[in-house]
Amino acid sequence: MSAIQFIATTPSELIKEIKEEIIPELKEQLKQEFQPKEPTHYLSRQEVCKILSIDLSTLHRWRKEGTLIAYGLGNRVYFKRNEIDELINQNRLK
């Protein structure tokens, strides 16, 4: 453990420095790290097929190949909207 020494610093000067330098920096770091995340938007198989203009059989094949990741709840299958958008952006024409 190391010790910090404040030589020729009054308590009021120390408090002033903390308020002016440290607190604003901490607030900025906390603001950046604790941004509220947008809720995940889930799409059904039909919605994904409509967005991508594909057939259900193509969607099933892409799911089996690992091109798209499916999430299930009970006997329902869902896809994350942001993952669909990422897939389209990854395969964009240059």
On the question of pLDDT at 48 being above 70, the answer is yes
2 pLDDT band (50/70/90 cuts)?
A: low
- CA atoms in the 13 A half-sphere facing the CB of 22: 6
For the cut 90, the answer to whether the pLDDT of residue 31 exceeds it is no
Tokens (6 digits) for 46: 């039909």
Would you say residue 94 has pLDDT above 70?
Answer: no
Q: What is the pLDDT of residue 22?
A: 83
Looking at the chain, the whole-number percentage of residues with pLDDT higher than 90 is: 44
Average pLDDT over residues 79-91: 88
